[in-house]
Amino acid sequence: MVHLCLDFEGVLIPEIWQCLAKEVNSDDLMLTTQDLKDYDELMSLRMKVVNEKNIKLSDIQKIVRDIAPFDGAQEFLDWARSKFQVTIVSDTFYELAWPLVEKLGYPSIICHNMTVKNDKITGYKLRQPNNKQKVIEALQSLKFKVFASGDSYNDINMLNTADLGIFFQAPKHIKEEYPHLLTASSHNELKKILEEHIK
């Protein structure tokens, strides 16, 4: 049995922080891991905006509840779960992502936690440094063959460590930096690539 690890935002769902950015009119919140390689730098910027604009956890959760998964994401995930053991490995947070996990039928997800006091976001706790790569390595240590797909800089170590790494709708500048990785432009194309490598 092959284990398939998928990024969440950018592969199955829209970017949560970008949806928030549109609601609160913040250019800084439009930045994602497709723009900044340093995740802590990105999250520090996000925390700064959250504090400056007095954005509460409940404010973000309300927006998240109105977000829909990408067209075709549910069908792809259903297919993938019939062929692989599937785990979502994401740099999002349980406190933000859970309504979307629910919409997708509660797939397994490994991500981080926010620290919250009286509805105020005070910070965040990483599952572990370089979590995505370490999840792949842990599964491989259990003798699983592991395939993975993601779209951003924070997915590179995961994709390089997996037995098969595939970009999903990654921007041109990232694909050009890592031309050795396969790339899919749609869920159907990702399905086709995965089918070709199931042995």
Q: Which residues are catalytic?
A: 7, 9
How does 79-109 read in b/e, with b if 16+ C-beta sit within 10 Å? bbeeebebbbbbbbbebbbbebbebbeebeb
Using alpha carbons only, give the angle 38, 41, 46 rounded to the nearest 5 degrees: 130
Q: Which of 23, 15, 46, 21 is nearest to 171 (CA)?
A: 15
- Residue 97, both tokens: 């992502």
CA atoms within 13 A of residue 197's CA, in its CB half-sphere: 20
